[in-house]
Amino acid sequence: MEGRHCFAHLTIEDNLMTGAYTRKDGKAAVAATLEKIYAYFPRLKVRRGTQAAYTSGGEQQMCAIGRALMANPKMVLRYADHGYILENGRIVMDGAAAALRENEDVKEFYLGVGVATARAFVM
């Protein structure tokens, strides 16, 4: 691995799958996570058969982030002192991790938990 930490000789999808190497929750769960990564980064789905060496720097960065997410990490705000919420490359909220963790909007829109009613998040 070098630069943006992609395996240059592997395809984008193979790079992503290396992130799931240690998972023990089955092929269906890994496939569901892969689809979630493609939903987060649609460009990776388009380029999934391309060797990482032949992708742009941004695509390689998405691949590196996607590979980390493929491991299904459990760490979020629990181990941080301060957090930033990014939306479309902009910081839309920041603050103490404990405050972000308890914020209902953060729970609902970014952590996938919270109330079931639809609300708009406006800053």
* Contact (Cβ atoms closer than 8 angstroms) between residue 66 and residue 41: yes
DSSP states of 41-71: -HHHHHTTTSBGGGS-HHHHHHHHHHHHHHT
Any idea what DSSP says for residue 7?
-
Residue with tokens 């941004």: 58
In degrees, rounded to 5, the angle at the alpha carbon of residue 118 between the alpha carbons of residues 105 and 31 is 80
From first to last of its 123 residues, the chain has per-residue pLDDT tens of: 445 689 999 999 999 999 999 999 999 999 999 999 999 999 999 999 999 999 999 999 999 999 999 998 876 777 889 988 888 778 999 999 999 988 988 888 776 665 554 454 444
